[in-house]
């Protein structure tokens, strides 16, 4: 995987060019490589060997404390010590000023080694970054800084038992207590927060919860919709302005741990706020009613992070099944004369169908990695590049794909990995079944598949009169124009046709202007869109490899596979979109 | 599900007509219904409530004995007492002389309630049926009869650690000890048997293992290939001619339990034969070298059984997610004017994308049920019908689909069920995650997906000059001709085109006569073939519903869904088949 990662970063995405920018001027190819080396080493030594343990020794609550394996403590603290929590932050704040693409690349190793053990750090980094963007100087100093240092970990508290995807129904209530608290306007919060990853543990001495809640309007009732949502810092243990624990426990109580199918190494909690009386102490971040905007400020990075996690689970399964396929003897070639059963069995990688399953995985996971790194590179363009507007437009359209595509297709990769191992893959003696279980979360959290599809077809491709979609199409067109001059002309033509088909379906979906008609087939649309994007990236990657090394041939084979076996799937998906197929919209509930 | 089952059996497949045949003359619609009632009741009372328990209280071995939950004992013995173990057997042998289609329909309830707890009985029934076909009168009397009575349970011992899909590499060795034993020629067996479901437990006082092994040739070496394989009865405890336990333990030792991703309620074992010295006692069934033919005599029923198990897991998930979708409020309609966030949330079944996920599930699980019952009905035609040859031909082609299609698409159904439940679906508080885990086995056991595809494209569709495929095509054509006269004409035309496309791809795949070229894309071929078969069955089912009841409209909606969203997928699969896409065949192992 390292070779592919290096190739994508340095040959394909020209990550080294970033060092010419002022913010990254102190970096070099060497410092970038050193970061990857460090991450690779810690992930190999501290995470990967304990991934199964974190699954089997699921977090448990003894009524007072939540217990995690010691390995989880050790691994997350080793991560914190590496400085990666603050990788993208300013030097003056203890950061490394790494480009987003390098931060993501470094984190890829941890997601591959143990996505669940890596969860605590990812949440903490995202939480603290959000405070850097929206917190007061003292909130940054007290909370963000201690999170970056790994002294405290963080969470994101959005969902509630009655409000998962529908955040406008958040019912947690925040009442003002003291406008003038140095840590920010102090409120008292009452409510229930569900699906809180990292919501309770004793890895760190404190946990910094970022909580969405509603401040009542003048009539004393919560303001309907998302406009009424504000954001609060609710530390598990109260702290003073010097970031010292006061010794007083905030009124945030663990109501229960969720027992999950996978991802078991990360605690996932139902938290009760204000159960004991006055309400949990929370300090307002940003303005009242601005909570969702603040929370979603980091959404691009969060969704790239989830997508990358999905990709790396797929990658882990791919490598495990490839390794098995090279070593496991089984069966013999079938020829027109039958099989020679007296000959020795051959490794299963010699069977075309096993190679098909490996090639599919390769195309999904390496293509997915290209997608996530490409998006991370766009984040860098957004922050330090020459044409931020263009980068923003392309990124806007790609984000729902970056989140959704690997969660669906790297799940398929994980299933194929099980299939390659056969009965052994179905046992817990091999890691592939856990990857598959862990992976299944990714279509659900951080915005479900359905939500991503609404974001794509309902907002992103139509925003500013379709300008964002046009910006992406222009980039795809560039690749096509380049490819058409090469041996890849057939694929270039195929991609051009796919792009036209996506564009046509987008128009037809919206031709009546009725959201319910356009969006009834948003998921098939997103599937087709995603496959088109991946075909484009594979073509672009294929154009950038040189020579006839095994590595180069492998990349070309995966690209060809994607065009031969995958891209043709879009027709079936787009047909229903283009004709605004009303079946699912119209069927009555009683017919089921 | 009962309403759909009754409809498919009695309205669509005219199961009651079978009572006109001599073998089923004592049956009636009432006796058939009584069987279904009994199965439904036992499954509901004894199986379903303990399905999660059988998963969490996984079988464990204390070094001497294997422990299972008491519920598993109770459930399997209740099944045995119902008489279903011998459902299809002659009255004189204690059976019910039920048609295959009714036996399968009854067993569907158990697969839905707990596929893993039901495993012991399915294996026992298959084992004993095999002995009825190939055993001596005394073998039937001693072994089969006691299995049908539920006194002893049975297993099938095919795989070995080094020989999973490749049975020609079976290395278990059988040496003749006494040609003249009353229970059959007595051999001593030495070897290892892997993946043996039901291989050890104490539900019954004895276990009857059916074991594949090789008798050495004149040179003392095992005969290469499958021709050298023979079949043996190896009881866990030795018995005499009166079916009494002698008290002597046979030399079959549990080497270990496999710890699986799902299907945990069924023990799965590595067994060592002859570990202690002389070898395990085994009585030859049939002739030396005829083992595989004997073992596969019941293969059609076994594969329909696996397919039906896959369907019923899908069905269980569909019902759970449908129930949830009707009750769970979340979100509001999106209109051109936006959302009214002050209005109450609506049940998620009101969202088009949730309905899409439910409709997809419905089309997979009800279509799958139609497929399995159709195949079982063909088994009845084969045994008691007027045109056994035609039934055999159609059944031959359908069997790989009956095994493979639900294992792939009802897995997708189970994944969609999780998605409908969102975060809750990912927890172990709801049953859908277990269904998904249990289901994943079905693409692996009883012949992997790849093996089914080779059977279909490598043998079934080309056998007798394509006569079997032609027989199936003739039946499909009949449905098309009927449908073309109705509102279903567009679907009829779509199906005709699909059938032509499958036929064309079959020819092109074999146009060079090279198996390696034809079979490199056998799995995509099978996927397209399966979807075409399911489209046909859905069209046929849709034609057979009357009126405008919710039930009838639901069937029509599912049929329309399949034609709108599913059948168009075949193009992408068949393209690679038709052009004998060489990518997977040609790629070198080093390129990965």
Cβ proximity of B401 and B456 under 8 Å = yes
> What's the pLDDT tens digit per position in B387-424?
999 999 999 999 999 999 999 999 999 999 999 999 99
Q: Cα dihedral sign for A174, A175, A177, A178?
A: positive
State yes or no: pLDDT of B335 exceeds 80: no
CA distance B236 to B242: 16
Give the pLDDT band (50/70/90) at residue A222. confident
The interface predicted TM-score (ipTM) is 0.97
The partner residue sitting opposite A349, judged by closest CB among B166, B568, B589, is B589
- For A484, half-sphere exposure in the C-beta direction (CA atoms, 13 angstrom radius) is 11
Cα A451–chain centre separation: 14
- Give the torsion through C-alpha atoms of B299, B303, B306, B309, to 10 deg: -120
For strand B173-178 and strand B152-157, is the pairing parallel, antiparallel, or unpaired?
A: unpaired
> What's the pLDDT tens digit per position in A388-446?
999 999 999 999 999 999 999 999 999 999 999 999 999 999 999 999 999 999 999 99
Cβ proximity of B435 and B414 under 8 Å = yes
Q: Helix, strand or coil for residue A214?
A: strand
Burial class (CB in 10 A: 0-12, 13-18, 19+), A56: exposed
Contacts of A386 by beta carbon, 8 Å cutoff, 6+ apart? none
Q: Cα dihedral sign for A485, A491, A493, A497?
A: negative
Q: How confident is the model at residue B337, as a pLDDT? A: 75
Closest residue in chain B to residue A553, using alpha carbons only: B591
CA distance B359 to A585: 11
Q: Helix, strand or coil for residue B158?
A: coil
Give mean pLDDT, residues A163-189: 94
Helix residue spans in B350-387 (DSSP H): 352-384
Give mean pLDDT, residues A230-240: 98
Report the gap between the CA of A441 and the closest CA in chain B (Å).
Answer: 7
The partner residue sitting opposite B333, judged by closest CB among A168, A262, A516, is A516
CA distance B500 to B506: 10
Both structure tokens of B149: 């009575």
Both structure tokens of B281: 């006692």
Chain B residue numbers touching A564 (CB-CB < 8 A): 575-576, 581, 583
For strand A186-197 and strand A268-273, is the pairing parallel, antiparallel, or unpaired?
A: antiparallel
CA distance B20 to A379: 74
Contacts of B213 by beta carbon, 8 Å cutoff, 6+ apart? B170, B172, B173, B174, B187, B189, B191, B229, B230, B232, B282, B291
DSSP A59: -
Give mean pLDDT, residues B28-52: 98
CA distance B272 to B257: 12
Cα–Cα distances in angstroms (integers) from residue B440 to residues B406, B443, B448, in the given order: 11, 6, 11
Cα–Cα distances in angstroms (integers) from residue A462 to residues A515, A523, B14, B173, B313, in the given order: 12, 16, 53, 69, 40
Contacts of A181 by beta carbon, 8 Å cutoff, 6+ apart? A283
> What's the pLDDT tens digit per position in A84-126?
999 999 999 999 999 999 999 999 999 999 999 999 999 999 9
pLDDT mean across residues, chain B: 96
Q: What are phi and psi of B260, to 5 degrees?
A: -105, 165
Chain B residue numbers touching A269 (CB-CB < 8 A): none
Cα–Cα distances in angstroms (integers) from residue A29 to residues A6, A17, A82, B343, B499, in the given order: 11, 9, 19, 56, 57
Give mean pLDDT, residues B551-574: 98
Give the pLDDT band (50/70/90) at residue B222. confident
> What's the pLDDT tens digit per position in B119-177?
999 999 999 999 999 999 999 999 999 999 999 999 999 999 988 788 889 999 999 99
Report the gap between the CA of A56 and the closest CA in chain B (Å).
Answer: 12
Give mean pLDDT, residues A473-492: 98
Contact A557 B352 (CB under 8 A): no
Contact B356 A322 (CB under 8 A): no
The partner residue sitting opposite B568, judged by closest CB among A350, A553, A575, is A575
Give the pLDDT band (50/70/90) at residue B208. very high
For strand B206-214 and strand B229-235, is the pairing parallel, antiparallel, or unpaired?
A: antiparallel
Q: % helix / strand / coil in chain B, to the nearest 5?
A: 60, 15, 25
Contacts 24+ apart (CB under 8 A), A164-167: A164/A194, A164/A195, A164/B330, A164/B422, A164/B423, A165/A447, A165/A448, A165/A450, A165/A451, A165/B330, A165/B331, A165/B422, A166/B330, A166/B331, A166/B332, A166/B345, A167/A212, A167/A226, A167/A229, A167/A292
Give the pLDDT band (50/70/90) at residue B340. confident
Q: Which helix (H) or strand (E) covers residue B586, if one does?
A: helix B583-586
The CA-to-CA distance between both ends of chain B, in Å, stands at 46
Contacts of A548 by beta carbon, 8 Å cutoff, 6+ apart? none
Give the pLDDT band (50/70/90) at residue B341. confident
Instruction: Determine which of A526-535, B160-169, B576-585 has the lowest per-residue pLDDT on average.
Output: B160-169
The partner residue sitting opposite B330, judged by closest CB among A164, A341, A576, is A164
The alpha-carbon radius of gyration of chain A (Å, integer) is 25
Cα–Cα distances in angstroms (integers) from residue A205 to residues A146, A198, A208, A319, A454, in the given order: 11, 13, 10, 37, 40
CA distance B461 to B466: 5
Q: Helix, strand or coil for residue A536?
A: helix
CA distance A550 to A552: 6
Cα A542–chain centre separation: 25
Report the gap between the CA of B531 and the closest CA in chain A (Å).
Answer: 13
Number of cross-chain residue pairs from A and B with Cβ atoms under 8 Å apart: 270
Contacts of B579 by beta carbon, 8 Å cutoff, 6+ apart? B508
Closest residue in chain B to residue A422, using alpha carbons only: B444
Q: How confident is the model at residue B333, as a pLDDT? A: 78
CA distance A237 to A248: 6
Give mean pLDDT, residues B67-94: 95
Q: Which of A426, A513, A553 to mutate to test the interface with B (most CBs of B within 10 A)?
A: A426
Contact B224 A342 (CB under 8 A): yes
Both structure tokens of A318: 């791919």
Burial class (CB in 10 A: 0-12, 13-18, 19+), A92: exposed
Neighbours of B365 (CB within 10 A): 30
* E strand residue ranges, B24-151: 60-61, 66-67
Cβ proximity of A96 and A87 under 8 Å = yes
Nearest to A281 by CA among A244, A240, A229, A238: A238
pLDDT mean across residues, chain A: 96
State yes or no: pLDDT of A335 exceeds 80: no
Give the pLDDT band (50/70/90) at residue A226. confident
Contact B339 A159 (CB under 8 A): no
Q: How confident is the model at residue A225, as a pLDDT? A: 86
Contact A581 B564 (CB under 8 A): yes
SS3 labels along A409-435: HHHHHHHHHHHHHHHHHHECCCCHHHH
For strand B252-257 and strand B268-273, is the pairing parallel, antiparallel, or unpaired?
A: antiparallel
- Can you count the helices (H) and strands (E) in chain A? 21, 12
Cα A32–chain centre separation: 22
Q: Which of B454, B587, B588, B590 to mutate to test the interface with A (most CBs of A within 10 A)?
A: B587
Cβ proximity of A146 and A86 under 8 Å = no
């Amino acid at each position: 995987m390292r070779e592919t990662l290096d190739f994508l970063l340095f040959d394909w995405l020209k990550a080294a060019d970033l060092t010419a920018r002022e913010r990254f001027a102190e970096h070099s190819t060497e410092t970038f490589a050193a970061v990857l080396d460090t991450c690779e080493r810690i992930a190999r030594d501290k995470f990967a060997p304990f991934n199964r343990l974190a699954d089997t020794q699921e977090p448990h609550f003894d009524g007072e404390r939540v217990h995690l394996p010691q390995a989880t403590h050790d691994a997350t603290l080793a991560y914190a010590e590496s400085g990666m929590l603050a990788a993208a932050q300013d030097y003056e704040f203890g950061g490394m000023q790494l480009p987003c693409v390098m931060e993501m690349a470094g984190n890829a190793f941890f997601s591959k080694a143990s996505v669940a053990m890596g969860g605590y750090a990812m949440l903490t980094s995202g939480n603290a970054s959000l405070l850097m963007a929206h917190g007061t100087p003292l909130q940054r100093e007290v909370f963000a800084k201690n999170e970056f240092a790994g002294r405290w970990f963080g969470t994101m508290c959005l969902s509630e038992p009655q409000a998962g995807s529908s955040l406008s129904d958040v019912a947690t209530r925040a009442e003002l207590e003291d406008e003038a608290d140095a840590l920010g306007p102090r409120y008292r919060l009452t409510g229930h927060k569900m699906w809180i990853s990292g919501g309770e543990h004793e890895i760190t001495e404190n946990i910094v919860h970022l909580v969405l809640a509603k401040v009542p309007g003048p009539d004393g009732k919560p303001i309907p919709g998302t406009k009424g949502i504000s954001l609060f810092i609710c530390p598990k243990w109260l702290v003073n302005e010097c970031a010292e624990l006061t010794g007083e426990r905030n009124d945030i109580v663990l109501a229960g741990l969720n027992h999950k199918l996978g991802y078991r190494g990360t605690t996932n909690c139902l938290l009760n706020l204000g159960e004991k009386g006055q309400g949990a102490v929370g300090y307002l971040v940003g303005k009242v009613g601005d909570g969702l905007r603040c929370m979603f400020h980091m959404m691009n990075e969060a969704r790239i992070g989830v997508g990358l996690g999905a990709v790396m689970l797929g990658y882990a399964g791919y490598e495990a099944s490839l390794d098995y396929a090279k070593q496991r003897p089984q069966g013999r070639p079938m020829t027109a004369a039958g099989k020679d059963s007296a000959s020795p069995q051959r490794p299963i990688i010699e069977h075309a169908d096993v190679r098909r399953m490996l090639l599919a995985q390769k195309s999904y996971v390496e293509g997915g990695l290209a997608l996530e790194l490409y998006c991370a590179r766009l984040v860098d363009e957004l922050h330090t590049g020459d044409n931020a507007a263009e980068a923003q437009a392309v990124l806007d359209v790609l984000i729902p794909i970056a989140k959704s595509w690997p969660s669906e297709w790297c799940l398929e990769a994980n299933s194929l990995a099980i299939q390659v191992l056969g009965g052994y893959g179905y046992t817990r003696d091999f890691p592939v079944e856990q990857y598959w279980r862990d992976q299944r979360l990714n279509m659900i959290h951080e915005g479900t598949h359905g939500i991503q599809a609404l974001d794509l077809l309902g907002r992103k491709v139509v925003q500013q009169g379709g300008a964002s979609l046009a910006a992406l199409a222009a980039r795809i067109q560039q690749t096509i124009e380049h490819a058409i001059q090469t041996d890849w002309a057939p694929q270039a033509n195929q991609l051009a046709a796919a792009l036209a088909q996506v564009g046509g379906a987008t128009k037809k979906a919206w031709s009546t202007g009725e959201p319910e008609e356009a969006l009834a087939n948003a998921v098939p649309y997103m599937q087709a869109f995603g496959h088109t994007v991946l075909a484009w990236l594979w073509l672009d990657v294929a154009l950038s490899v040189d020579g006839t090394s095994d590595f180069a041939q492998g990349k070309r084979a995966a690209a060809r596979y994607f065009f031969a076996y995958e891209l043709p799937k879009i027709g079936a998906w787009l047909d229903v979109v283009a004709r605004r197929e009303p079946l699912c919209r119209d069927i009555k509930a009683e017919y089921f």
